[in-house]
């Protein structure tokens, strides 16, 4: 039997329709969610991402402002802008597009964003809140992974989830979120001795290692849910995930394609975080 395809684009579109209704209702109460995005320099991929975020906000009626700063902007100037946005009532979310130029300390910048406005969920306090189970804004890609699993009708509680990859942006937070959903969680990484054996025990396999087609059907238990967070550019210009999609199609029970799987969910979760931050700022229950 062939796997069910988890259509991230469709699920993402559906959530955006729900969010749009929510923004309309908030606007009727004079609450306009606002997102500030800061882009330093001219990284081509970052420019595309920032443009997509701006467009998505417009489509939902979320106020957005993009601060495009030159590549030689000083860290002090960037921190000053963040401090200003932290104090600005019309702004509920602040996102500094990464990577930053080398002369700027990424940690200092992330730490400067007020935790209530940390729509990326990268601030140490947000990470701590997630870990101890307090309310917090969740990192977008990991939150998107959980939504995809839930909206595919797959129960997470009691399942064995194996996460391959331990980055601060995806691997670690996705593992924490799966744990919060009552999965039994194993984290594998480049130094894991028996990765294939562990992965093969997974009911839910999440792969975020940044290596094209590294995980094939040998790693997949028949019927498993396979979530591919990777987006890699192949020499022929095509995009491929970290999972060998074609090879896993027969073995997996559910699988995300690349593109059109996890990717579209990241901006959608950013929009969701911005709406949630606006509600919290106005004392409205999330």
Compute how many other C-beta atoms are within 10 angstroms of the C-beta atom of residue 205: 28
Residue among 96, 146, 175, 177 that touches ligand GUN (CB under 6 A)? 96
Query: Reduced to 3 states, what is the DSSP secondary structure of residue 206?
Result: strand
β-strands 160-164, 184-188: how paired?
A: parallel
Q: Which listed residue (53, 159, 172, 279) is catalytic?
A: 53
Residue among 95, 137, 148, 176 that touches ligand GUN (CB under 6 A)? 95
Q: Which stretch binds ligand GUN (CB under 6 A): 24-32, 73-81, 90-98, 249-257?
A: 90-98
In the complex, the smallest distance separating the C-beta of residue 160 from ligand GUN, rounded to whole angstroms, is 27
Q: Which listed residue (118, 120, 203, 228) is catalytic?
A: 120
Compute how many other C-beta atoms are within 10 angstroms of the C-beta atom of residue 125: 15
Residue among 32, 66, 79, 98 that touches ligand GUN (CB under 6 A)? 98
202 binds ligand GUN (CB under 6 A): no
Residue 185 exposure: Cα atoms within 13 Å on the Cβ side: 21
Q: Which stretch binds ligand GUN (CB under 6 A): 27-35, 51-59, 91-99, 206-214?
A: 91-99
113 binds ligand GUN (CB under 6 A): no
228 binds ligand GUN (CB under 6 A): no
Closer of 174 and 224 to ligand GUN (Cβ): 174
Annotated catalytic, 242?
A: no
Going by the DSSP 8-state scheme, the letter that residue 91 receives in this structure is -
Annotated catalytic, 201?
A: no
57 binds ligand GUN (CB under 6 A): no
Q: Whole-angstrom Cα distance, residue 159 to residue 117? A: 33
Question: CB–CB of 50/35 below 8 Å?
Answer: no
Secondary structure in 3-state letters for 225-275: EEEECCCEECCCCCEECCECHHHHCCCCCEECCCCCCCHHHHHHHHHHHHH
- Of the candidates 267, 260, 261, 272, the one whose C-alpha atom is nearest the C-alpha of residue 21 is 272
Residue among 22, 116, 120, 147 that touches ligand GUN (CB under 6 A)? 120
Q: What is the dihedral of CA 169, 242, 43, 36, to 10 degrees?
A: -40
| x/- map, 125-154, ligand GUN, by CB under 6 A | ---------------x--------------
| Strand order, beta sheet including 34-40 | 63-69, 34-40, 93-96
Residue among 12, 73, 92, 97 that touches ligand GUN (CB under 6 A)? 97
Closer of 24 and 45 to ligand GUN (Cβ): 45
Annotated catalytic, 134?
A: no
Binding site for ligand GUN (CB under 6 A): 95-98, 120, 140
Q: Which amino acids are annotated catalytic? A: 53, 97, 120
């Amino acid at each position: 039997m062939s796997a069910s395809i988890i259509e991230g684009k469709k699920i993402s579109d559906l959530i955006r329709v729900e969010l749009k209704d929510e923004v309309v209702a908030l606007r009727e109460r004079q609450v306009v969610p606002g997102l500030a995005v800061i882009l330093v320099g001219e990284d081509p991929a970052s420019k595309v991402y920032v443009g997509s975020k701006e467009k998505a906000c417009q489509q939902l009626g979320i106020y957005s402002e993009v601060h495009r700063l030159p590549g030689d902007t000083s860290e002090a100037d960037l921190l000053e802008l963040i401090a200003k946005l932290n104090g600005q009532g019309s702004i509920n979310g602040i996102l500094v597009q990464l990577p930053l130029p080398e002369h700027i300390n990424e940690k200092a910048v992330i730490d400067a964003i007020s935790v209530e406005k940390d729509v990326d969920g990268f601030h140490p306090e947000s990470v701590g809140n997630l870990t101890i189970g307090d309310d917090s804004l969740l990192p977008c890609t990991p939150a998107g992974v959980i939504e995809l699993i839930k909206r595919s009708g797959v129960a997470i509680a009691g399942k064995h989830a194996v996460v391959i990859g331990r980055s601060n942006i995806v691997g670690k937070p996705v593992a924490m979120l799966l744990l919060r959903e009552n999965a039994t969680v194993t984290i594998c990484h480049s130094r894991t001795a028996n990765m294939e054996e562990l992965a093969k025990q997974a009911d839910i396999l999440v792969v975020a290692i940044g290596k094209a087609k590294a995980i094939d059907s040998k790693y997949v238990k028949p019927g498993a849910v396979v979530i591919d967070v990777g987006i890699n550019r192949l020499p022929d210009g095509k995009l491929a995930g970290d999972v060998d999609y074609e090879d896993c199609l027969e073995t997996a029970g559910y699988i995300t394609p690349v593109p059109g799987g996890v990717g579209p969910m990241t901006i959608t979760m950013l929009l969701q975080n911005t709406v949630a931050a606006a509600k919290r700022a106005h004392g409205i229950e999330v």
